[in-house]
Amino acid sequence: MIYKKHRRLLIFILSALLGLLSSFTIPALSNSPSPQSPLPLIPRGGPEFPNPQSLAREGQQRYNAGELEAAAKLWQSAAEAYRKMGDREGMTKSLINKSQALQDLGLYPKACNTLLQAFAIKNPNCSQTQIEQLYKTLAQQRDSLTLTQAIGLHSLGDVLRRQGLLEKSQEILQLSLSLIPESPEKSAVLLSLSNTERILGNQIRDRWDYDVVTDIIDRKSISDVLAPYQQAFNYYIAAAKVASAPPIPKIQAQLNHFQLLLETKKWWRDQTNRRIASWSRFGESKLIQRGKDFVSQLELQLNQEAQALQNQISPDLATLTPSRAAIYAQINFAESLMQSAQINQVEPLLQNALQQARTIQDKRAETYVLGYLGKLYHKQGQLNQATKLTRQALMLAQEQNINGDAREITYLWQSQLGSLLRKQGDQKGAIAAYTAAFNTLQSLRSDLNANNQDVQFDFLQEVKPVYIELVDLLLKSNLSDDELNSLIVLNPSITQNKAETQKPQKRLELARQVIESLQLAELDNFFQDPCSEPADVAVQIDNIDANAAVIYPIVLPDRLEVILSLSGKPLQEVVIPISEQEVNQTLDRLYDYLDNVTINNSARNILSTSNPDPRELKENLQTVLPTFGQIYNWLIKPFEAQLDSNQIKNLVFVLNGRLQRVPIAALYDGENYLIEKYSVALVPSLQLINPQRLERKQLKVLAAGVSEQIQVRGEFFAALVNVPKELDQIKQTFPASQKLLNQEFTAKTIEKQLKLNFPVVHLATHGLFSSNPQKNFIITGDGKSISINELSALLKEPGTTVELLVLSACETATGDERAVLGLAGMAVRSGARSTLATLWPVGDASTTKFMGEFYEHLKKPAGKQADALRNAQLSLLESLKINPPFPELKNLPPHPYYWAPYVLIGNWQ
């Protein structure tokens, strides 16, 4: 194992040798370097004490110079000196300043604990309990709190936002604001409140289902678009109007307001274009026109507001005194101008910022400005100049890395250099640059996931391309063995695998390992913390199941590549000459015809009516079968001979992007569905698989369900009348099982029963999984809901070992390709080795029949979980063939909507 310190040093050495540098956005919510300047010093000291004023002054000097770790240590020493002198006020100010330096370093838990220490909290751990108690205590003492405490609360509110505790951040910041009604600090606190409200607005917007967004577009409701952000807009405007405030927070408020308008415009344009593409497939000319009118009206309004802000920002920026905050403000504005296609105004801004950074000798700020100048020249096609500036930015970042931790800067410039070198035809240099960025990200994995949810979403936009670009380059490369070995020196999970010696195997193995790492990073990102530690050695299918094949589809801009892993064989690849756009259009078309609730002729809408039209369903089937056939030709057909000759029985898919919402079992070869020949399972990553087989002897199930109509938070959930029968079947199959029906099924009863060690937990109740972890829930019989985090915590209780979690009436959010991550993460986070669930709602009676078959096959000693799933699906298929729901479907394959949504995620053994 390579320790992080040594790994960073190796990254530095390799990067320096290769001359290595990504696009980066200074966070829109940045209050950098601080919402407030370091608090004023208190003159103290004497012969018997270190001079805390000198320590604090030096801390401020180091902070202003960008030496954040040194500043934090000096402020800690100052706080200790003040404490020994009995000066509580001086200690508090020093700790608040130390916390700000820790925040700027991204060390949010430490920053939070430091602030709690400043408020005299014993044994601080930044738990919600401690935060709630602090808020309660200070709210009661509101009239006696000092300005210093108000500033401390402001800083705490920022830390809580960055840790994703948005409601707590909101409360703490509102308390801080109430303590400083006429202070110059008011603008900075309003800015922080705006930033918190902005992320809360993102959460509201991102929780809207596909059909809710479609309805807003259809109604052309600008007010609904802006509603989630109205409070943020109000606070931004108020922050910019505080007369007594210093200029920095006022300009930051204007910049963040400006960025929010641009982001809102882009989000709704993308969402509307996605709907227009669907409507175009169905010739919905009226809807298409409404969508175009909506975008036009929205952009007209937002453009007018953005232009008014821009007219205020430009002259105000020119008056700022050089400082890190002023430099970052100029970078933020430059980035916004690039996003809004006003690129001709960017260079003067960045050149001025660069001169200021050099004047105040702030190396950290200088590396950002140089990197952004590189990005600007990249956009303008001036590749040589862009490369030169990017290298300079990278070297400065690496200098910072030796004495501190600047990895979050380093990977940006490494990947930007990779992009530049690739455009200039230097494939080897580009691979080296992206590999260095990849290794930097690997060492940052746990730290990145300590950031807040807003930063985490940027992680997908900025970090995922590093993985994809590296895989793209590797798969196209013709590097020698020595060159490949030099690239993987920083990845012990690959270098320890010495078995493969053939050049194609090494190239493909490295590409496969990067894709596995992307899967892990995306799963971590989904939950904002590392779900599970991967194995140190690259996991091979040989070690898990000799009769299984693992298939990795990799969607790249100009092609689809599929990697096949067979036991005891070198990795194989096939290249499908189809663009990412064509792949996504095919997958979107399939979704539209299967599960899109906003499309009249989707299978979901046809079958949800009280009297389905068999002709519509027949037409729908005849449309989706060729699409399932096309995906089969991509993923399976090229490997048919190898699968047959190696007697493969189980196909395991590692999926990403829109492929995650495809019911893989329904891939169609022109005569049969895939499930008719193979068992099928999905895994987020082989590195997360525990290959231990489910022990069949004396298997028992904790089976809980809700059969009655139930109301939760004002929403009614339909009765599942067949649930009692479903639970009875489980009890008959496994007599040692325990049933919990309706009111018996609560979070407390589940917690109590789990202590009796049930290897299988079966929940027959309504639930939803989406790309937003906070929108993942299941309904309990007492009219409450259990979130994915709460359920995971229950399943992880000491002494609890859950092998299989079955969610028989839950569904994934419509139109949400990342929703399957909720299912995958459920297993990983809870400790359950696998999860069985459905991609869309399935009929109550059909589910009961399916589950009965599944458990009958699960109890067979020699079978696998994937075999039990396959046999249950085959049973439904055969039943539908013999007794089709409509005579018109008699000579056609059974429609996948009836039987294909069931997916097994995780261990298939």
Final residue before a domain boundary, out of 686, 705, 733: 686
- The pLDDT confidence band at residue 824, using thresholds 50, 70 and 90, is low
Q: Is residue 402 part of a domain?
A: no
- The pLDDT confidence band at residue 821, using thresholds 50, 70 and 90, is low
CA distance 414 to 435: 9
Q: Which is higher by pLDDT, 542 or 210?
A: 210
CA distance 190 to 173: 8
- So what's the pLDDT on residue 498? 39
Cβ density class 816-832: b for 16+ within 10 Å, e for less: bbbbbbbbbbbbbbbbb
The yes-or-no verdict on residue 835 having pLDDT over 90 is: no
- So what's the pLDDT on residue 53? 87
Lowest mean pLDDT among 334-338, 761-765, 771-775: 771-775
Question: Mean per-residue pLDDT for 414-419?
Answer: 95
- The pLDDT confidence band at residue 816, using thresholds 50, 70 and 90, is low
**CATH number of the domain residue 626 falls in:** 3.30.420
Nearest-5° angle of CA 176, CA 177, CA 183? 105
- The pLDDT confidence band at residue 28, using thresholds 50, 70 and 90, is very low
- So what's the pLDDT on residue 431? 93
639 and 711 part of one domain: no
Question: Helix axis angle, 324-339 relative to 346-359, nearest 10°?
Answer: 160
Cβ density class 482-498: b for 16+ within 10 Å, e for less: eebeebbebbbbbeebe
- The pLDDT confidence band at residue 326, using thresholds 50, 70 and 90, is very high
716 and 609 part of one domain: no
CA distance 151 to 142: 14
Average pLDDT of the chain is 83
pLDDT tens per residue across span 679-706: 999 988 776 666 666 666 678 999 999 9
- So what's the pLDDT on residue 693? 66
Q: Is residue 131 part of a domain?
A: no
Q: Which is higher by pLDDT, 674 or 399?
A: 674
- The pLDDT confidence band at residue 247, using thresholds 50, 70 and 90, is very high
CA distance 589 to 895: 16
Q: Is residue 385 part of a domain?
A: no
Q: Is residue 350 part of a domain?
A: no
Nearest Cα residue to 560 out of 629, 657, 625? 657
Q: Which is higher by pLDDT, 331 or 404?
A: 331
633 and 748 part of one domain: no
In the DSSP assignment, the letter for residue 49 is: B
679 and 711 part of one domain: no
The yes-or-no verdict on residue 19 having pLDDT over 50 is: no
CA distance 809 to 765: 5
682 and 715 part of one domain: no
Question: Mean per-residue pLDDT for 49-74?
Answer: 84
- So what's the pLDDT on residue 524? 67
pLDDT tens per residue across span 512-550: 888 888 877 777 666 555 444 444 444 555 567 888 999
Q: Is residue 306 part of a domain?
A: no
CA distance 702 to 718: 23
- So what's the pLDDT on residue 534? 47
Final residue before a domain boundary, out of 623, 655, 686: 686
Phi, psi of 585 (to 5 degrees): -65, -40
Strand, coil or helix: 298 = helix
Q: Residue 121: which region, alpha, beta or left (left: phi > 0; alpha: psi -120 to 50)? A: beta
The yes-or-no verdict on residue 220 having pLDDT over 90 is: yes
Lowest mean pLDDT among 81-90, 455-464, 518-527, 775-784: 455-464
| Cα→Cα distances 463→5, 327, 429, 435, 685, Å | 22, 24, 19, 13, 18
In DSSP terms, which residues pair with 712 in a beta bridge?
715
Question: Mean per-residue pLDDT for 641-659?
Answer: 92
**CATH number of the domain residue 734 falls in:** 3.40.50
Question: Mean per-residue pLDDT for 113-126?
Answer: 90
Nearest-5° angle of CA 162, CA 194, CA 220? 110
Q: Is residue 181 part of a domain?
A: no
659 and 705 part of one domain: no
Count structural domains, the chain.
2
- The pLDDT confidence band at residue 49, using thresholds 50, 70 and 90, is low
- So what's the pLDDT on residue 755? 86
Q: Is residue 20 part of a domain?
A: no
Q: Are 149 and 119 in contact (CB under 8 A)?
A: yes
Nearest Cα residue to 38 out of 86, 99, 116, 105? 99
Lowest mean pLDDT among 485-494, 508-517, 879-888, 900-909: 485-494
- Looking at this protein, which amino acid is placed at residue 670? G
Q: Are 684 and 519 in contact (CB under 8 A)?
A: yes
End-to-end CA distance of the chain: 30
Q: Which is higher by pLDDT, 657 or 533?
A: 657
- So what's the pLDDT on residue 14? 29
748 and 824 part of one domain: yes
Q: Which residues have CB under 8 Å from 282's CB, separation 6+? A: 592, 599, 600, 601
The yes-or-no verdict on residue 348 having pLDDT over 70 is: yes
Q: Which is higher by pLDDT, 484 or 351?
A: 351
For residue 594, the enclosing domain spans 539-686
Question: Mean per-residue pLDDT for 825-836?
Answer: 72
The yes-or-no verdict on residue 795 having pLDDT over 70 is: yes
788 and 824 part of one domain: yes
Question: Mean per-residue pLDDT for 181-207?
Answer: 89
- So what's the pLDDT on residue 556? 94
- The pLDDT confidence band at residue 35, using thresholds 50, 70 and 90, is very low
Lowest mean pLDDT among 506-515, 539-548, 551-560: 539-548
- So what's the pLDDT on residue 778? 87
In the DSSP assignment, the letter for residue 891 is: T
Token reading at 139: 């709210």
pLDDT tens per residue across span 385-416: 999 999 999 999 888 765 566 777 888 899 99
704 and 852 part of one domain: yes
572 and 653 part of one domain: yes
761 and 644 part of one domain: no
Final residue before a domain boundary, out of 636, 662, 686: 686
- The pLDDT confidence band at residue 833, using thresholds 50, 70 and 90, is confident
pLDDT tens per residue across span 277-286: 999 988 899 9
- So what's the pLDDT on residue 18? 31
- So what's the pLDDT on residue 625? 97
Q: Which is higher by pLDDT, 626 or 244?
A: 626
The yes-or-no verdict on residue 11 having pLDDT over 50 is: no
- So what's the pLDDT on residue 699? 86
- So what's the pLDDT on residue 17? 28
The highest-confidence range among 102-111, 139-148, 504-513, 823-832, by mean pLDDT, is: 139-148
Nearest Cα residue to 634 out of 590, 603, 599? 590
CA distance 509 to 501: 11
CA distance 624 to 813: 20
641 and 713 part of one domain: no
Question: Which percentage of the chain shows pLDDT scores above 70?
Answer: 83
For the chain, the C-alpha Rg in angstroms (whole number) is 29
- So what's the pLDDT on residue 535? 41
Question: Mean per-residue pLDDT for 585-596?
Answer: 92
Q: Is residue 787 part of a domain?
A: yes
- So what's the pLDDT on residue 908? 86
